[in-house]
Amino acid sequence: MGIRLGDTAPDFTATTTEGDLTFHDWLDNQWAVLFSHPKDFTPVCTTELGRVAQLKDEFDSRGVKVIGLSVDPVESHHSWIKDIEETQNTTINYPLIADSDGKIAALYDMLDPTSEDTMTARNVFVIGPDKKVKLTIVYPASTGRNFDEILRIIDSLQLTADYQVATPVDWNHGEDCIIVPSIPDEDIPAKFPKGHQRIKSYLRTTPQPNL
């Protein structure tokens, strides 16, 4: 059975490009993104790893750690990083897990059933400070991930965690949010002093609370 929303992210020990780590210790009660790659020296993933490095300040500003994973050994990772930095004009500034025996990929159900090799699928896991899985996405090998969208999702998840709001379709940072249905009408003025709009009994909006 795969990892489901709300599950505790499985713990593991691993060798990475920044040394050995135990995953739960590395998380250190912070938000995190774990994303996997089929193998080293793949073209789409080369662009993705570079993009995450370019966005590292954005992740840092949200208190989010990032870590990648591939089934190749750490020596191969270091060689691949040289290519990534050259072709994507950036510096890799986060760890890349060497899952040579595929144990972590199996633990997170990331093995690609369509692959003739032991390649991992291209998964994304967003993990909260409580070590619970908040988001899972699986991308096909041919489609590059949109990390701006992943940042948008993290903004939404953090708003829900901190302010009891949800975000509507196509929401972007700075736009109105939806007050979750569990909050009674009489509690809204105290919780949302910026005001609110009652569109329906179940659809109430308020300006983004943390701005």
Give residue for tokens 């990534």.
Answer: 84
What CA–CA distances, in Å, run from 106 to 41, 75, 95, 99, 128? 21, 22, 20, 10, 21
Sheet strands side by side (includes 203-206): 165-166, 177-179, 203-206, 197-200
Positions marked catalytic: 45
Distance CA(7)–CA(152), nearest Å, equals 22
Residue type, 18: E
Q: 129: Cβ–Cβ under 8 A, 6 or more apart, which residues?
A: 27, 29, 30, 31
Answer whether 52's CB lies under 8 Å from 137's CB.
no
Nearest-CA neighbor of 106 among 119, 93, 96? 119
Nearest-CA neighbor of 52 among 148, 157, 154, 172? 148
